Amino acid sequence: MIPGKGGTGIVTSFSLSDHPLDSPETVERILSSRPVGCPDAAVDWIELLGPGIWIDAEGRRRRESHLVELEVYTNPIAARVRLSVHHDVWVYYDFFGNPHPEMYRANAPRLEAALRELEDVLGVESCPGEHTLFGTPNGTASRLSNQTRTAGART
């Protein structure tokens, strides 16, 4: 986005590797990704596709390449942040409808803590998003529940 002129239509992608999100190096990489011909361009959208760790039923830590997605829109008129999770470890039932309470108990509190930290950093309370075929975000402590069907009705 170029102030007073609009968007550039240019998208830059790169890997953060193992740089922490709040490191000066990460900030510098993001700011230096502006096009050479548009030195005054402001970053108005950042999408982070993140690896992460989930805990299996035996308590082992498992690395997943695309566990979470964080989108940040910095446009002052419509600033927002969206967090998406891409796994069934956050809910009581897996994607096939089988209960996995050990994984749920190991992972759901971690998601809750991450959401609370994000709310604290941003200074606002989160709003549940839309439901999917697999889960429904809600305002409870677990923040996410399975999408299930009983006798043809969604519950």
Q: Which domain holds residue 117?
A: 50-67+75-154
Together in a domain, 8 and 54? no
Predicted local confidence at residue 105, as pLDDT: 94
pLDDT band at residue 86 using 50, 70 and 90 as cut-offs? confident
Together in a domain, 82 and 114? yes
Together in a domain, 150 and 124? yes
Average pLDDT rounded to a whole number, residues 96-101? 90
Together in a domain, 109 and 39? no
Q: Residues near 7 by Cβ (< 8 Å), separated by ≥ 6?
A: 1, 44
Q: Which of 31, 25, 26 is nearest to 12 (CA)?
A: 31
More confident residue, 122 or 142: 122
> Is residue 78 helix, strand or coil?
coil
Together in a domain, 79 and 96? yes
pLDDT tens readout for residues 38-58: 778 888 888 888 788 999 999
pLDDT band at residue 37 using 50, 70 and 90 as cut-offs? confident
pTM over 0.75: no
Predicted local confidence at residue 57, as pLDDT: 94
How far is residue 28 CA from its own chain's centroid? 22
Together in a domain, 81 and 144? yes
pLDDT band at residue 5 using 50, 70 and 90 as cut-offs? low
Number of compact structural domains in the chain: 2
Burial class (CB in 10 A: 0-12, 13-18, 19+), 54: buried
